[in-house]
Amino acid sequence: MLQSRRSFLLALALMLQDSFTIAVADPVADFYAANPIRVIIRSSPGGTYDLYSRLLSMHMPNQMPGRPTMVNTHMPGGGGIIAANHLAMAAPRDGTILSIIGLGLPVDQALGLNKSLQLNLRDLNWIGSISSSNQVLVTWHKSKVTSLKAARDTPIQIGSTGAGSVSQQYPAFYNAFLGTKFNVIFGYGGTPQLNLAMERGEIDGSGSASWAQYVIEAPRLVKERLIVPVIQVGLEKEPDLQDVPLLLDLAQSPEEAAAFRFLSNSVNFGRPVATTAGVPAERLAALRRAFDQTMTDPRFIEDARKSGGEIRPMSSGDLTKLVNELTTTSEPLRSKLRFVLAQH
């Protein structure tokens, strides 16, 4: 009789254990265990978008419930607009898509500069930004212009990837607000082509690229001081560019201060990670939590260091506020900037 009672209690305990296990099963972990995450990379292989996307794909699964596989898909074109439009129009809205959004898109949306952009950035679910690095206009060390003062006195040829790119917009902005005399030349495929054109003497400088991009992609030009940063744009100076003028410090009027803050905030957008609209709240929370944990993971930080990448993370909350601020700029300022940045 005692044996039968013990057998009954054991069976009951096992049943209760099974019931408890079912009750606390994690649907988010189950979902991601069965569904890989696709990382849309807005550029071709190489460069900082590719670097940071691959670092994320390598390390973020370790922090995710269900330990999903993360698969990289390149979708270059339009300065990130093709990838962005894919998120808006075609990508599944279930938390299986991540992408680092192009730096220039907040300006495109706020000012209506590119009619092909179908994405509303405020509709995205922001996960966090991996890093931000100041945009710099550089000249070749043999150029007649190696300072902002000289750029106000001497016209020079500045290379750009094309109309509407930051490498065209920023020199136009400097000409309008700072009195520089940059003559923008189009037709270069990207920063590597612009660097080669400077080295060959075809152009005097390059319109704009992130300082991190030069450090990662062209370390020889940086170490041998073959390029000279003339002006930098961001919220504070780069640690190794303390002698290079910061746009925010150059404002001479409230109008200029507002315009300079807008451009500087857009640079602070950095390398921001987003997923689509419509993601279930519990999956979105898991993605944000895993991102934050990845940013402080010593293995991730060490791999980034070895690759030349700099980690300066921003939380999803701060990133969302920044996007909202950039895309709801006052109409008078938008009209002024729209006119200035459209200049070739």
* Residue at 7 is within a domain: no
Is 217 in the same domain as 304?
no
Is 256 in the same domain as 139?
yes
Is 285 in the same domain as 256?
no
Of 267, 265, 272, 294, nearest in space to 124 by CA: 272
Q: Which of 246, 266, 286 is the last residue of a domain?
A: 266
Question: Is 23's pLDDT higher than 50?
Answer: no
* Residue at 2 is within a domain: no
* Residue at 253 is within a domain: yes
Tens digit of each residue's pLDDT (9 = 90 or more) over 58-110: 999 999 999 999 999 999 887 788 999 999 999 999 999 999 998 888 888 88
* Residue at 62 is within a domain: yes
Domain count along the chain: 2
* Residue at 6 is within a domain: no
Q: Which of 266, 290, 312 is the last residue of a domain?
A: 266
When pLDDT is averaged across residues 110-130 and rounded to a whole number, the result is: 91
* Residue at 4 is within a domain: no
Tens digit of each residue's pLDDT (9 = 90 or more) over 153-177: 999 999 998 776 788 889 999 999 9
* Residue at 126 is within a domain: yes
Domain that includes residue 213, residue range: 135-266
**Among residues of the chain, what percentage have pLDDT more than 90?**
67
Q: Which of 266, 292, 327 is the last residue of a domain?
A: 266
CATH number at residue 261: 3.40.190.10
* Residue at 182 is within a domain: yes
Tens digit of each residue's pLDDT (9 = 90 or more) over 245-298: 999 999 999 999 999 999 999 898 889 999 999 999 999 999 999 999 999 999
Is residue 214 within 8 Å of 192, Cβ to Cβ? Answer: no
Name the residue with higher pLDDT: 175 or 192.
Answer: 175
Is 151 in the same domain as 244?
yes
